[in-house]
Homo-oligomer: A and B are copies of this chain.
Amino acid sequence: MTIPFSQISDDLAKQAIELPSWAFGNSGTRFKVFGTPGTPRTIEEKIADAATVHRHTGLAPTVALHIPWDKVDDYAALRDYAGEQGVSLGTVNSNTFQDDIYKFGSLTHSDPAVRQKAIDHHFACIDVMDQTGSRDLKIWLADGTNYPGQDDIRSRQDRLHESLQKIYDRLGDDQRMVLEYKFFEPAFYHTDVPDWGTSYAQVSALGDKALTCLDTGHHAPGTNIEFIVAQLLRLGKLGSFDFNSRFYADDDLIVGAADPFQLFRILVEVVRGGGYANPDVAFMLDQCHNVEDKIPGQIRSVLNVQEMTARALMLDREALNAAQAEHDVLGANGILMDAFYTDVRPALAEWRESRGLPADPMAAYAASGYQQKIAEERIGGTQSGWGA
């Protein structure tokens, strides 16, 4: 009992998922970062890879930048370069976790000079946004402490507000700030924006242009993430998603890899709450391909989101409402599961072909020779990673 695929195919065409430039660079754990042949050395090469994902899937028209990892002298040129590749530049991500000065915090630091440096960094990010035409400034803070007593939790929260206010005031009329929350890591005792409640309280204190960013891997075990999605949509404060998946910590695995049913439930609430094909709710990936190939890893990821979105759109909401109204627990659950268990892959393959896309983007990429080409050509230089 699901809506036919034919009825959702137009809706599917509205989907866009932003790729993170850093997913194409090397990443790893504190124990080891494994390099791989073909890893980009420059932001241009990252964009070329991202554009390759888009060419094969039609799903990823924009690329998020990370400053300073993707710093260039001429952002207008970068914008043009991206355009030539067939993609646009998207969200700008700030970074206040790699300078020695931020060892004890950035926007929350007790020293006004350090805070100002962090604020200035965000001003610089907004300057980049002005040049790239990016709408969103994404702030994820590594701020926190490792030991009880190390710093004053409360004052840090107040300082965070002050810092965010200054950054907020610098935003242009069409720009937004999205504040990501994260349960733990790299700080272990406390993080300054650990949960959606904190992000919500902080962005609510700023104004309409500040929203919450929900990273699907940043919650305590057992957390009902789709509830948070529903709640933030209800409160008008869900600005964006960072999709990925996790088994225990912030594993940053391919979205849908660990718990596909959870991804489905999240997308069901997105659709339910008006967050799908809604420009106010940005879909992004934030992943690390530590052991798998990066470009097909990204292709797999956007396909996973697309396949689950198709299932969510095919959910027979009318029938579900009726079963819910009758408190038919098994019936209502069954209607939901019907959509989840529907194999949308054959229909999606046709759908893609009808739009000039490869029916099987993974196979098409493998057959394209791109991976071999970059492995051969990208010799020398320094492979990109979190350090650069």
Contact = CB atoms under 8 A, between A and B. Distances in A.
Interface of A: 27-32, 34-35, 97-98, 100, 103-104, 110, 142, 146-154, 157-158, 183-186, 188-190, 194-198, 200-201, 219-224, 226-228, 230-231, 233-235, 246-249, 251, 253-254, 257-262, 265, 269, 272-273, 290-293, 296-297, 300, 307, 320-321, 324-325, 327, 329-330, 332-337, 340-343, 345, 362, 386
Contact of A190 (B147, B152, B224): B224
B197 A196 contact: yes
Given A32-B186, A184-B249, A249-B249, A195 B194 contact: no
A148 B345 contact: no
A146 B291 CA distance: 8
A292 B330 contact: yes
A230 B343 contact: no
A259 B257 contact: no
Given A31-B142, A110-B327, A292-B330, 11 more contacts: A30-B30, A146-B253, A146-B292, A146-B329, A147-B292, A149-B332, A149-B333, A154-B234, A190-B224, A249-B249, A293-B330
Pairs A-B, 10 closest by C-beta atoms: A197-B197, A149-B336, A220-B220, A221-B221, A29-B186, A343-B343, A292-B329, A188-B251, A222-B248, A147-B333
A7 B325 CA distance: 42
Contacts of A195: 195-197
A219 B247 CA distance: 14
Contact of A261 (B97, B228, B234, B259): B259
A52 B243 CA distance: 44
